[in-house]
Amino acid sequence: MKAIQIDNFFGNVNIIYKECKKLKFYTQAEHPFNKDRITTTWPGKRTVELGECCPLLKYLLIKYYLINNLITTATFVNFYIHARFNGDDNEEWIHQDLGNKAASLIYLSPSNFQSGTKLYSFEDNQEINDFKFVQNRLIQYDAFYYHSAYGNHGTTIDNCRLTINGFIK
């Protein structure tokens, strides 16, 4: 697998979108995972791993991933809900998700064609793919791909760029 896109991933994304907005979000510095030590970085705000804050949603995600052959029953996956806002583009960078086999995003908030995720070549960081932010679209790519979000938007949880981020071991 290099990169894939699945549109209309959930049967009813609006239910999941509504539930995800109710969760507690943390900045990088506030996040319990990073407490007293910064181990990962990100712009915007992120939940704790869904198995800790919303196990039923994690179970549902694993079911959808299995149905779509994105993981196997032996796969270990961490899921987070990630909110990015106006101004967070200044904190974006081209990076890899090393330590994982694959990474995935599910775009939850309403479609915004000025937003998305770009993949870059290994050799010279040239853009090779631009996944537009379409509500209920899943993208999954090898974790060693360089990538970056763009077009972060909104000022509140109700109008920001909201995604489910998956890190597949």
- Give the tens place of pLDDT for each residue, 15-40: 999 999 999 999 888 888 755 555 56
Query: Is 70 exceeded by the pLDDT of residue 1?
Result: no
How many CA within 13 A on the CB side of residue 88?
26
pTM of the predicted protein model: 0.92
pLDDT on residue 34: 59
Q: Which residue has the tokens 């010279």?
A: 124
Could you name the CATH architecture of 3-162?
A: Sandwich (2.60)
**Residue 74 pLDDT class (50, 70, 90 cuts):** confident
pLDDT on residue 123: 81
Query: Is 70 exceeded by the pLDDT of residue 165?
Result: yes
pLDDT digits (tens, 9 = 90+) for 106-159: 999 999 999 999 999 888 889 999 999 999 999 999 999 999 999 999 999 999
Strand order in the sheet with 146-150: 127-133, 112-120, 146-150
Q: Which residue has the tokens 């996944």?
A: 131
